[in-house]
Chain A
Amino acid sequence: MILEDPVLASRFLTLMTLTFHVIYATIGVGVPLLIIIAHWLGIRKNDEHYILMARRWSKGYLVTVAVGVVTGTIIGLQLSLLWPNFMELAGQIIALPLFMETFAFFFEAIFLGIYAYTWDRFADQRKHLLLLIPVAIGGGMSAFFITIVNSFMNSPAGFDMVNGQLVNADPIAAMFNPAMVTKVFHVVVTAYMAAAFVLASIAAFQLLKGSKHPYHKKALYLTMKIGLIFSIATAVNGDFSGKYLAAYQPEKLAAAEWHFETEGYAPLLMYGVLDENQEVKYSIKIPFALSILAHGNPSAEVIGLNEFSEEETPPLIIHYFFDSMVTIGVFMILLSFVYWIGIKRGWAFIKSKGFRWIIVLGGPLSLLAIEFGWWMAEVGRQPWILRGIMTVDQAATTSDYVHVMILLFGLLYIILGVGTIVVLRRIFKQNPIEAELKRIEQGADPS
């Protein structure tokens, strides 16, 4: 089996863990903000529906957070188990944000626990809402610190290598590396965007299934509006990311764009296939767009892949990852924009079945875009684990049992994934919004 090579096996296991964890991490970072907004709207408008929205979202959120916690623990320890040489080196310089992340997470876990178990303990709802703010801050800070570690892997800074030894370590400079700002912003903003569209997708699905309850309409409108704001923010940030890549990781940008010759007035190629002469066929060509993306100037020269040796060229498949990510992002901006305008102007078709199905699709698509983004970021850094300093071959464990662990963890992720879906479905199926509202009218506490 090809995975008996510890390097390939370690890469594959890391890919599996991250791909699975990212779904939960994204929801974990994004959803608290939406719960806060709903809870706050409920208090301000004195509208029971929004309060219930916060309550129901937080119920689902508790389940996903649990899986996020355990998969986060897994990736945290797997970094050392699978990439011991990397962690030995990186631990000397980038352990600080990792350490901070555990504090941020601790903070989040504590307040989430309190929030979840104190729904009926406060006469003043605003006090209860206050508990959510540390949850959202903790979640955001976790993403902030972990993304700093990842940005450091892409653009190491804050130290010197002398004869294979790390010297002059400056942990603060390592944290504020060149990739940090664009990357952190990208991760946090897309988490809010994806979380909003996932919740929108659920609301649209309920409406499709025949519920006419205003609760779902309010939820859909709120989440689509929030999604629109954050998807626009993502696009703006994407532009900065392009400029960062051009300046610091030109090989990644060139591989993502299949840009081989260094040239000015560079067009942006979307999709297409590569023939044996490295000619791009059947692609959609947007003139000057790559030069604008890279340098903000249609005539600017963009470094091509031919400038790099073959060993240092990232796999060309990241072109498709990049294009798919961008396509979904743009599609979601358009979708939420049309919906928003449609509501304002009273267009009938946005309430049609077809349109609602597209919104349902938007949730999974947004998560898929997040996956494409991470695959692009991680595969696009190959062959490096720490760009320019250590390759994945040098970093991986020498243990012979990684391929067995792939099977075990694979099984685990299937069980956890299926478990999440089953449990979430059961929670909300047994307890539809109509029934919950009825109980409240009769004076009982919501479950």
Chain B
Amino acid sequence: MSLEILGISVLWTFLFGYVIIGSIDYGAGFFNAYSIITGREHILSKVIQRYLSPVWEITNVFFVFFFVGIVGFFPQTAYYIGTIFLVPGSIGLILLAIRGSYYAFETYGSKGHKGYAFLYGLTGLLIPAALSTVLAISEGGFVFIEDGNPVLDYWALFTSPLSWSIVILSIVAVLYISAVFLTWYANQTGDDEATKLMRRYALIWALPLIVTAGGIVYELRFHNPEHYERLVDLWWVFGLSFLLWALTVWFIWKRKNYGTAVWLLFGQFALAFYAYGISHYPYLLYPHLTIHEGFTNRAMAISLVVVFILGLALLLPSLYLVLKLFLFNKNYVRGTKEQKE
């Protein structure tokens, strides 16, 4: 495996991690706000807040990892993406800042202010929308070189069916991933009402997910035929992903094996995400930048990989500790007063 493939695989994995953890987090915020509007907060809030509290900063780090890593491995992306991503990137940042800090203000400070919860829920949908535009931009057709500098054609981006499909998919995926995960989590806590409600949300968003995902493939056919061809070559991976989706929905429908359903969900998204990534190869930004042109020097690449491995050796045990203490600790999850350790 060449260093650039290794580099992009590492980054893509981090992005996948962010998509999953971020979706759970963003969707949870939305469902929390929605339950307050519809007067069902007594059902959901406790479950959601118990999950959210210890993990939000960890979620954020996945995002930072990705953009710091991509500048490290592919410094030219800083030049291209940096120049054209100023507006959507800044909007995403501002939303992230509002979300993160107001979450902390509410959790550690004053409890129960409804305005915070709404803002929190709303930003949970707007952030994926803003950030996912970079995927649309990377498909090409929105960036032109003017006087040697890349310029983003906002109008073309704003009126393109492809970019809207991607934005909508990002939102639907957030809601679906989060609903499936929280169904399992609520079930773990033994909270039947919350489980029932989350199960309903999961089922509601399952079909729109597949429809919008299919819509993107359809749009891509016209927008970027080259990428479309490569995507079709990997049809069997997407087929497998579809199968996992169907199984997830089946389990949730049948009200059993919620834990397996969550793993199937991760599998479904992993397959689709990596297949999409592989078909995007070798372009980072169609047709201006490939991972070969944009790659950093050998010394930097090797040192980044070494640091990455050392870093993982440090982080994986720590993450395990978090999961053990919070997510998978029966006492914590159920909210009972635990035995002192």
Contact = CB atoms under 8 A, between A and B. Distances in A.
- Asked if A pairs with B, the answer is yes
Interface of A: 59, 62-63, 65-67, 69-74, 76-78, 80-85, 87-93, 95-96, 98-103, 105-107, 109-114, 116-118, 120-123, 127, 134, 166, 169-172, 397-399, 401-402, 404-405, 408-409, 412, 415-416, 419-420, 423-424, 426-427
Contacts of A92: 75, 296-297, 300
B325 A118 contact: yes
Contact of B109 (A80, A117, A427): A427
Nearest to B84: A399
Contact of B71 (A80, A105, A172, A408): A80
Contacts of A114: 54, 321-322, 325
Given A109-B58, A110-B58, A84 B82 contact: yes
A294 B112 CA distance: 57
Contact of A107 (B71, B75, B299, B318): B318
A127 to B, nearest CB: 8
B76 interface: yes
B105 A88 contact: no
A112 B54 CA distance: 9
27 contacts: A67-B101, A69-B60, A70-B100, A72-B64, A73-B93, A81-B85, A81-B89, A84-B78, A84-B81, A84-B82, A88-B79, A92-B297, A95-B71, A95-B72, A98-B72, A99-B69, A106-B311, A106-B315, A109-B58, A114-B325, A121-B340, A171-B299, A408-B91, A409-B90, A419-B101, A419-B102, A427-B109
Interface SS of chain B: helix
B109 A426 contact: yes
B307 A419 contact: no
B82 to A, nearest CB: 3
A91 B75 contact: yes
Contacts of A134: 318
Interface in B304-341: 304, 307-308, 311, 314-315, 318-319, 321-322, 325-326, 338, 340-341
A120 B340 CA distance: 7
Contacts of B82: 80-84, 87-88, 397
A98 B303 CA distance: 12
The residue among B58, B102, B104, B308 with the most chain A CB atoms within 10 A of its own CB is: B104
Contacts of A172: 303
Given A70-B60, A70-B100, A106-B65, 18 more contacts: A63-B104, A72-B64, A76-B68, A77-B89, A83-B82, A84-B80, A84-B82, A88-B78, A91-B75, A101-B68, A102-B65, A103-B314, A107-B318, A110-B58, A397-B86, A398-B151, A424-B109, A426-B109
Nearest to A111: B318
Closest 3 CB pairs between A and B? A66-B104, A91-B75, A84-B82
Interface residues of B, number: 67
A337 B81 CA distance: 52
Given A66-B101, A114-B325, A91 B72 contact: yes
Contacts of A405: 86-87, 90
A95 B311 contact: no
Contacts of A96: 72, 300, 303-304, 307
Interface in B150-191: 151
B61 interface: yes
A95 B300 contact: yes
A66 B55 contact: no
Nearest to A58: B108
Contact of A66 (B58, B100, B300): B100
Contacts of B149: 398
Contacts of B340: 120-123
